[in-house]
Structure 1
Amino acid sequence: MPEGLGGRPPREADHGLGDRPAAETGVLRPHAEEEYAGELARLAELDERPRPPGWRLSPWAVSTYLLGGELPDGTVIGPKYVGSRRLIEVAVATLATDRALLLLGVPGTAKTWVAEHLAAAVSGDSTLLVQGTAGTSEESVRYGWNYARLLAEGPSERALVESPLMRAMRLGSVARIEELTRMPSDVQDTLITVLSEKTLPVPELGTEVRARRGFTVIATANDRDRGVNELSSALRRRFNTVVLPLPDSVDDEVDIVARRVGQIGAALELPEAPAGLEEIRRVVTVFRELRSGLTGDGRTKLKSPGATLGTAEAISVITSGLALAAHFGDGVLRAADVAGGIVGAVVQDPATDRVVWQEYLETVVRERPEWQDFYRACREVS
């Protein structure tokens, strides 16, 4: 086994920092297994159900961690995902088989968020991540070399640099691959042997890495990237695909945005999100109407902009608005604080999106008496 590749890399948690709040460590965004270490530990302590080999929790406990619930001792587990219970159960059950999991959906459906929390709950480590881009190389997925050692010693175990995927195989952990369809097709197909044979050959050393129990892969892909680098049929067969939808209702989406903004705002020491629930609801309503091409009452058809108007964009707009309110206002989120962000999110293409936005502003927003402050604020920045 290559030297230094059989153990877990040093992490803040190894130095006693993992259980401390983000504000205490100075970390802006802790990993899921650090931020929710208390919940994960309590679940593990009370979890009496069967656990698949290599898992920290049972499938039931993993689902409870993601969806929230109350434990027998009264401990309340906060929800990490608001949506269909059955979808999460299917995703968790997939990880308990020999198939990999592909989370598919439009932008803003929490694919990355769900993947991170699944990895944290199953293997206690969400950091074994390969980020897919047009420039992702085969070495990023399989392994690379320390070229100084390679030149000095030739191919050797000491010169081998393992990828997150290889490390996950050695440790029996979950490997995450973000934006799988952004990766070139030939790079994608390097996963076929790993997913089918559970081995990663290293021909330069005449050896191979065999996956330990608990190893699996969670990949995400964007619905809007279809046709960019489609998965081959051979690779797609190795995945069980779960499609994550946009939130069913305005209330669900408002709840998701408020929860996430509250977490981000706490790390940034911004005003609490509940002080601006009215503005959150307005931003969510605008995004839902524009992306569906129909007003909430179903009476007016609308043109949709080319921009992505998902939950993630709503979170970004509200977080920016809270920063404005905190530093340049009275700390209360108002229409003027979100107007600039919402116009910037909608109008990505000045030639076409601006026309769509102006039409929506004049035919929908202007006609809502309770939205007049929002209308004036948007007109001012538009």
Structure 2
Amino acid sequence: MTQTQPSARLQDVLRQHAEQAYAHELSALHAQDHRPRPPQWKLSPQAVLTYLLGGSLEDGTVITPKYIGDRRLMEIAVATLATDRALLLIGVPGTAKSWVSEHLAAAISGDSTLLIQGTAGTSEESVRYGWNYARLLSEGPSPAALVESPVLRAMREGKIARMEELTRVQSDVQDTLITILSEKTLPVPELGSEVQAVRGFNLIATANNRDKGVNELSSALKRRFNTVVLPVPDSLDDEVSIVVRRVGQLAASLEIPAAPPALDEVRRIVTVFRELRAGVTEDGRTKLKSPSGSLSTAEAISVVNQGLALAAHFGNGELGAHDTAASLVGAVVKDPVQDGVVWREYLETVVKKRDDWKAFYKACRAVS
């Protein structure tokens, strides 16, 4: 009985870690991966790439794609982590930086949880180490009183550490990474010792293009990273494919009792996002004003998912224009004045003129 309890609890988790959700795929890749692996890596670089981009194994196991985009970018990311340089993933919001970071750590180390969430309030202790102050007061500085940060744990265990939103962190805290990334050691002067990184240790950081100038990285820190810029999906079809796949996964996880969304509805939402984001219609004929929000792929996924919830619980179970309209308007109109003008202009100059968008136009007008 005790053997089934952890499994049952795992099924009840709202969002599983990548190494949990895709354990079957990782296990199959590990069993059939006979290529050379860097020290401490669970998979070879080629197998990590297959895990990210998808494919079929010799035994018929289907590996689902985690990233849909330029293969070369993922090759560079994986190869970087096999060297002594850290990896910095940069892009606008919603370009799957955190998603890629998590799956890279899961495939390489089997552990994506060594994570620091960067904010303006992130302290140096979060990056280096802290203290158990009860033991510190009673015993003085000792290894037992030391509280390891995720980075320090990754150094000890030869794993991948992750740091989200690096440019949100104060500059002096950012620079604590310089010694770690260059010397691969973390001094602990209170104990007169240091922690030396075990082979396999590396760091993946993410940064937002829109945060440029918030806390820019020093040139010394930039040199410790190899930077990979993750773009928005190249084509409408690629973005639709990403949205459909993620919505299906989320709907299953949340047990939303609705039929899978019609492809036409998803394509319509993604088209709206792409046109407003780019400031021009897909055919290139009409220039548009862009709203203040990012209108990312992640937000498109949320719009479809919320529409499914509305359809399931308050509709007929099938996603329609009236279900997506409310969520879509809320995603576009962040500033009621500025974005409201942009949205109404888009409705009247673009949406209204599309013959197969009549129901969608009426639903959006009703909500707006």
Secondary structure of the residue aligned to 1:294 is coil
| C-alpha distance in 2 between matches for 1:87 and 1:356 | 34
Within the candidate set 305, 310, 314, 2:300 is matched to 314
Q: Which amino acid is the alignment partner of residue 199 of structure 1?
A: T
| 8 Å contact from structure 2 (residues 333, 340) kept in 1 | yes
Measured on the aligned residues, the alpha-carbon RMSD in Å equals 1.5
2:232 corresponds to 1:246:
yes
After the TM superposition, which residues 46-65 of structure 1 pair with which residues of structure 2 at under 5 Å, given as runs? 46-65=32-51
Matches within 5 A, 1:1-382: 20=7, 25-271=11-257, 274-382=260-368
Distance 2:209 2:244 in 1: 25
Q: Distance in 2 between matches of 1:262 and 1:252?
A: 16
Change (3 A) 1:39 1:16: farther
Task: In structure 2, list runs of 5 or more residues that go unmatched.
Answer: none
**2:239 aligned counterpart, secondary structure:** helix
Residues 288 and 241 of structure 1: CA distance in aligned 2, closer, same or farther (over 3 Å): same
Cα drift, residue 21 of structure 1: 7.8
In 1, distance between residues paired with 2:335 and 2:176? Answer: 37
Per-residue deviation, 1:58 = 0.2
Q: Secondary structure at the match of 1:175?
A: strand
Q: Which stretch of structure 1 is more off in the superposition, 333-342 or 120-129? A: 333-342
Q: 1:3 matched to which residue of 2?
A: none
In 1, the alpha carbon distance for the partners of 2:12 and 2:211 equals: 36
Q: TM-score, normalised by structure 1?
A: 0.94
- Between Structure 1 and Structure 2, how many residues are aligned? 367
Shift of 1:273: 6.5
C-alpha deviation, 1:80, in angstroms: 0.7
Superposed CA deviations along residues 352-379 of structure 1, whole A, max 9, x for unmatched, are 1110001001100011111111111111
Structure 1 contact 266–272 (Cα < 8 Å) conserved: no
- Percent identical: 72
Does the 8 Å CA contact 1:271/1:332 hold for their aligned counterparts?
Answer: no
Retained in 1: the 8 A contact 2:236–2:271?
yes
User: Which letter maps to 1:294?
Assistant: V
Q: Residues 17 and 318 of structure 1: is their aligned pair in 2 closer, same or farther, counting only changes over 3 Å?
A: farther
Gaps of 5+ in 1: 1-13
Alpha-carbon separation, structure 1, partners of 2:96 and 2:125: 28
- The one-letter amino acid of 2:353's match is E
1:21–1:35 CA contact under 8 A, matched in 2: no
Residue 164 of structure 1: CA displacement? 0.4
**1:271: how far off?**
4.3
8 Å CA contact 2:259–2:317 kept in 1: the answer is no
Supply the AA of the counterpart residue of 1:320. Answer: Q
CA contact (8 A) 2:258 2:311 kept: no
Q: 3-state DSSP class of the match of 1:217?
A: strand
1:229 maps to a residue whose letter is N
Counterpart CA distance in 1 for 2:71 and 2:238 is: 14
- State the secondary structure of the residue aligned to 2:261: helix
Tell me if the contact between 1:173 and 1:216 (Cα under 8 Å) persists in the aligned partners. Answer: yes
1:112 corresponds to which letter in structure 2?
A: S
The aligned amino acid for 1:149 is: R
Q: SS where residue 302 of structure 1 aligns? A: coil
